[in-house]
Amino acid sequence: MVEANLSAKTSAKTDDLSPTRDSDHPRDSLVAQFGADRPLKLDAGIALSPFQIAYKTYGQLNATKSNAVLVCHALTGDQHVASVHPVTKKNGWWETLIGSGRPIDTERYFVICANVVGGCMGSSGPSSTNTQTGKPWGLEFPVITIRDMVRAQAMLLDHLGIDQLFAVVGGSMGGMQVLEWAASYPQRVFSVLPIACSTRHSAQNIAFHEVGRQAVMADPEWRGGRYLIEGANPRRGLAVARMGAHITYLSDAALHRKFGRKFQDRTNPTFSFDADFEVESYLRHQGSSFVERFDANSYLYLTRAMDYFDIAADHDDVLANAFKNSPVRFCVISFTSDWLFPTADSRAIVHALNAAGARVSFAEIKTDKGHDAFLLDEPELFAIVRGFLDAAAKAHGLTNGAGH
Among 11, 20, 266, 269, binds its own copies (CB under 8 A): 269
Stretch that binds its own copies, among 30-38, 151-159, 245-253, 394-402 (CB under 8 A): 245-253
Residue 222 touches its own copies, criterion: CB under 8 A: no
Among 275, 322, 389, 393, binds its own copies (CB under 8 A): 275
Residue 78 touches its own copies, criterion: CB under 8 A: no
> d(Cα 121, Cα 25) in Å, to the nearest integer?
8
Residue 201 touches its own copies, criterion: CB under 8 A: yes
Shortest distance in whole angstroms from residue 333 CB to its own copies: 21
Stretch that binds its own copies, among 5-13, 249-257, 318-326, 346-354 (CB under 8 A): 249-257
Residue 273 touches its own copies, criterion: CB under 8 A: yes
Q: Beta-carbon neighbour count of residue 112 at 10 Å?
A: 26
Residue 136 touches its own copies, criterion: CB under 8 A: no
Tell me whether residue 105 or residue 219 sits nearer to its own copies (CB atom).
219
Tell me whether residue 116 or residue 358 sits nearer to its own copies (CB atom).
116
CB 94 within 8 A of CB 375: yes
SS (H, E, C) the chain: CCCCCCCCEEEEECHHHCCCCCCCCCCCEEEEEECCCCCEECCCCCEECCEEEEEEEECCCCCCCCCEEEEECCCCCCCCCCCCCCCCCCCCCCCCCEECCCCEECCCCEEEEECCCCCCCCCCCCCCEECCCCEECHHHCCCCCHHHHHHHHHHHHHHHCCCCEEEEEEECHHHHHHHHHHHHCHHHEEEEEEECCCCECCHHHHHHHHHHHHHHHHCHHHHHHCCCCCCCCCHHHHHHHHHHHHHHHCCHHHHHHHCCCCECCCCCCCCCCCCCEHHHHHHHHHHHHHCCCCCHHHHHHHHHHHHHCECHHHHCCCHHHHHCCCCCEEEEEEECCCCCCCHHHHHHHHHHHHHCCCEEEEEEECCCCCHHHHHCCCHHHHHHHHHHHHHHHHHCCCCCCCCC
Among 159, 213, 329, 371, binds its own copies (CB under 8 A): 213
Tell me whether residue 257 or residue 366 sits nearer to its own copies (CB atom).
257
Catalytic residue IDs: 172, 338, 371
Nearest Cα to Cα of residue 82 among 67, 52, 104: 104
Residue 280 touches its own copies, criterion: CB under 8 A: yes
Among 8, 30, 176, 300, binds its own copies (CB under 8 A): 300
Shortest distance in whole angstroms from residue 348 CB to its own copies: 13
Q: What are phi and psi of 146, to 5 degrees?
A: -60, -40
Tell me whether residue 17 or residue 217 sits nearer to its own copies (CB atom).
217
Q: Interface residues for its own copies in 332-391 (CB under 8 A)?
A: 339, 342
What is the size of the binding site for its own copies (CB under 8 A)?
58
Residue 137 touches its own copies, criterion: CB under 8 A: no
Residue 240 touches its own copies, criterion: CB under 8 A: yes
Residue 107 touches its own copies, criterion: CB under 8 A: no
Q: Interface residues for its own copies in 31-60 (CB under 8 A)?
A: 43-45
Residue 287 touches its own copies, criterion: CB under 8 A: yes
Among 17, 87, 143, 320, binds its own copies (CB under 8 A): 143
Shortest distance in whole angstroms from residue 239 CB to its own copies: 7
Among 261, 265, 292, 397, binds its own copies (CB under 8 A): 261
CB 272 within 8 A of CB 163: no
Which spans of this chain sit near its own copies (rule: CB under 8 A)?
43-45, 139, 142-143, 200-204, 206-208, 210-211, 213-215, 217-220, 236-237, 239-240, 243-244, 247, 250, 252, 255-256, 258-261, 269, 271-273, 275-277, 279-280, 283-284, 287, 300, 304, 307-308, 310, 313, 339, 342
